[in-house]
Chains A and B, each alone.
Chain A
Amino acid sequence: MCSADQLEEIRAICPGAAPMADGTLTLIHLPALTIQCGGTEATVEALLCLSSHDGYPSRLFISQRLAAGKLNWQTAVVLGRTWHTWSWQGVSAGQRPAQVLAQLLMAFR
């Protein structure tokens, strides 16, 4: 679960961020997340997953695939919709959500 101050931290990065849930998944919806990718900027809708998903301790789902190196992309249905995510291990969900988000976004650097 995300505390109020942790949620405010995320909202400073992405205004409008809101907690959601899908089955056992604890999520934060990010309506417009800006990602620096390959010298360009992309704004996507995203879900930050702070609970174990498919064997990963944390995950970031985004609304579209980005051209970023050799990521192993996967399609997933979360909250009844299609999202895109990638294999990126080792980001513990026990950190502050903003730290989890920052570490997951390192995939695009």
Chain B
Amino acid sequence: MSRDYSCQSFLGEPAGSTFATIKVGIAGLGGGGSHIAQQLAHVGIQSYVVADPDRVENSNLNRLIGARADDVGHQRSKAEVILRTIVGLNPTASVEAIWGPWQDSHVSFRQCNVIFGCLDSYGEREQLERFCRRFLIPYIDIGMDVHKYDDGYRIVGQVIQSFPNCPCLWCTGLINNHKLTHEVGRYGDAGARPQVVWPNGMLASAAVGLFVQLVTTWGPKDETRYLEYNGNDLVMGVSPLLEHVRSETCGHYASSQLGDPFFSLPQP
């Protein structure tokens, strides 16, 4: 049975061929990454590189899209669950499902045309964006947190599109040395981070929407996109920080920092 994408025809005629040929990377297959993978499979993306080092655990089942209760007993990896989700919708999809950190298979990620970062730390995000800049790959980052205040808990999140030669995560302030240092200082004290399914769904859906706008003729074509999510008021909107960075030139990545600086053809 071949898929019927007629409901997506408003995306423009080249979308069909683009969805068939574009390669998408997803680093992190937890609450956010699993949502993204499922949605991309629905949209019709045919080629994936996905990576996560973890197995499915009981505590993941509250948010891991595509996971089943028996995955825990069978000690299945999250990568295996995502593979099952994607090919269940697209039997002909090519999925390189890596049970391990994305760093161990970075050569595969070089081939991606867009990479989604669904990672747990600022350090990991910085590293993945730096990789994407080196290989001219647009990067879409999502993240959510639950903060405790005197009057209760607040859910917050963000989706940021980082485009080569345009403002980066450092420019937007999502990454800074204070956060990275503070993160290292908290190592070992983190415990289980609060995570729930519906904010992940909101953020993942926005990220997939940005992706579709990036690869089809539909929708706005701004290079840098920064959406903030207020999970208590259930509101997603453009970050006011975006106006401060949109017109700036990114000074964090030199244009000559492309490719593998140690690359060498075999010498006779």
Contact = CB atoms under 8 A, between A and B. Distances in A.
Does B bind A?
A: yes
Interface of A: 20-25, 52, 54-56, 75-82, 87, 89
B23 interface: no
Contacts of B123: 54-55
Interface string B105-139: 01000100000000000010011101101110000
Given A22-B130, A23-B253, A80-B131, A52 B177 contact: yes
Q: Tell me the dominant secondary structure on chain B's binding face.
A: helix
B261 A77 contact: no
B127 A80 contact: no
A81 B130 contact: no
A90 to B, nearest CB: 11
Contacts, number: 66
16 contacts: A23-B253, A24-B170, A54-B123, A54-B183, A55-B181, A55-B183, A55-B185, A75-B104, A76-B103, A77-B130, A80-B110, A81-B260, A81-B262, A82-B103, A82-B106, A87-B187
B7 interface: no
B254 interface: yes
B262 A76 contact: no
Given A55-B180, A55-B185, A75-B103, A21 B254 contact: yes
B74 interface: no
Name A's interface SS.
strand
A65 B239 CA distance: 42
B257 A23 contact: yes
B252 interface: yes
A22 B134 contact: yes
Nearest to B253: A23
Nearest to B259: A80
B173 interface: no
B106 A80 contact: yes
B101 interface: yes
Nearest to B126: A54
